[in-house]
Amino acid sequence: MKCKQPTHAYSLKSFFMMILLTAIFFLSTGCMQPIISQNQSPKSITSEQFYAQRHALIDVLSKDDPVFSALQAQINPQDVESQEYWRWRIDQYMYGQYPEFQTIYDAYRNNKTFLDIYNLPNENLGPKKAMPTTLPSVPKGHFTENLQGNPHRGWHYLSGDTLYITYQGQLSDPYIASFNLKTNVWEGPLKAGESTLSKDDRKFDSHGRPIIEIDSLGHIHIVYGGHGGEREDGLNPLSIDTPHAGGRMLHLMSKRPYDISEFEYIDDISPFASYTKSYKMGNGDIYLFTRAGTHKSPWVYYKMTAGQQRFEAPVIITWPTPQKDNPINVDTFYINPVKISDTDIAISFLWHECNFLEYHDKRTYSRINAYYVRLDTRNETFYNAQGESVSLPITLAQANTNMLAFDSTDREETPFTTTPILLDDGSPAVIYEARTKDMREHRMTAFINGQWTHSLPTPSKINTTLYDKQNHKIENLLKLEKLGTQSDQQTAMVIYRDKNKQTVYAEATSKNGSDWFVSKTHLSLQSSRIQMEPVKNNLDETIGFILNVRKGASQRLYLWLEGAFRPLNH
């Protein structure tokens, strides 16, 4: 796959390395054959030729790169599986970090399977947890079958009077449905494609949830299924990390405009990708953001220019960097892009301290700090809050210098998630979920008077109070989303937890935008979770919601419009 490589990937050292490898290749073959160009199809080489070039490359690179010794130190010389496993990990590190190795490896891999190269047992990605025979009852009105795992609220696209919704359904496969707002008629849900997640005895994996966009020609695009790729996909040219979760990222396009009945696969994105988020800009360009592999992988974006139906080569946003003093650890990120205008996408992100040993501290998941950057799609340039342009790829050192919005390294609280927003005066801000061993709440850091100020209340908590029908103040307001605003009275939908620990989805009204009063309850469930995703029209007004209602092993999606749930008509 062609891609816009990080600037550090090619250097004078790489040039001399190719000269050295050419000489070794000549000696190993006994003839003067030219080494394979990166622009040519790889020709097969023997095992002897491959290992001669591989060892020579490691000998030179390891003089300046301590990662090699850190990875080799993990090998148990008495254990064949350990030797093979870490050989694979070292190959992947070289393949992603040093592009000169890619030509050598690809020539050796020709016509070989994963097990032809590495003597490793089959992956242990299971077993699948059996569903209980009896499921807790949930309210009627849903439009999906029972969903396993955590599919969130699905993803949707409103085109004219038709709302298209895609979600992760049975065995992680992508499903799609459409609802006509004028006729109140559903089409679907239909299975749009096949996922490699959660098949056979693999445990259920919710990371493959699909996103949906409609291009300027009316064709529906669904991207789904990724959680690191499959071993048989080979090595990842955009990562220093091997696939260890399984799940191939795939791209579907409808065969006909605005028609959900039939899709075809488009081969233009990395199968190794994990997580997706996409936005269609004012000019019709579509931006797809994803992580290019598993944890120790860069984040990238793909662009589909208006009038086209394929994504262009990925642009690398961040690059993972092994720590110099402790190279078994790798500094990488979790990003969250949000469209803030027809031309701009704001991105907040966390520092994630990962490691090659695949150990993750589940108390904090090693998520640290909060950062902010903005992409101006008119010139494809990133800017920090100060308006300074940011060069790519972003590393931790660069992020700490130019993009740090909240330094949590000397504080007890851990920012677990981040979301970029714009304040009413246009100032950038980041909402983060602060966690300690005794507390979990959302807070905000905002760029005020030229500097970042953290630990602020979020806008929804500033002068926002909710009262129940008995005028008792509700202490645990989880979500408030305004509907169409009227001059004399505002309406919103709220989710809160009452004193009896019931999770409630209700309608509320306000005359001043600060004091809200519950006017009608739509759901009230014990021991359950309710999430809602607003559906907005082209004026950015919220006209409805997609709800994820989960109670034990029961989980359904609901569409709420004009004061009522919209169940399937069939």
Catalytic residues, by residue number, are: 207, 275
Cα–Cα dist 226/230, whole Å: 9
Cα–Cα dist 498/367, whole Å: 31
Using an 8 Å Cβ cutoff, are 489 and 509 in contact? yes
Cα–Cα dist 180/478, whole Å: 30
**Residue 552 DSSP label:** T
The residues facing 441 across adjacent strands are 434
Smallest CA-to-CA distance from 314 within 418, 223, 212, 421 is with: 223
Q: Say which residue the tokens 């749930």 belong to.
A: 565
Residue spans of alpha helices (H) in 110-205: 114-117
Cα–Cα dist 146/526, whole Å: 18
Radius of gyration of the chain (CA): 26
Cα–Cα dist 364/417, whole Å: 11
Cα–Cα dist 209/197, whole Å: 10
Cα 342 to chain centroid distance, Å, stands at 22
Coil/strand/helix, residue 238? coil
Residue 34 preceded by cis peptide, ω within 30: no
Using an 8 Å Cβ cutoff, are 176 and 222 in contact? yes
Report angle CA 380, 382, 383 to the nearest 5 degrees: 140
**Residue 212 DSSP label:** E
Cα–Cα dist 125/359, whole Å: 17
Residue 414 has, within 13 A of its CA and on its CB side, a CA count of: 16
Tell how strand 465-467 and strand 321-322 pair up: unpaired
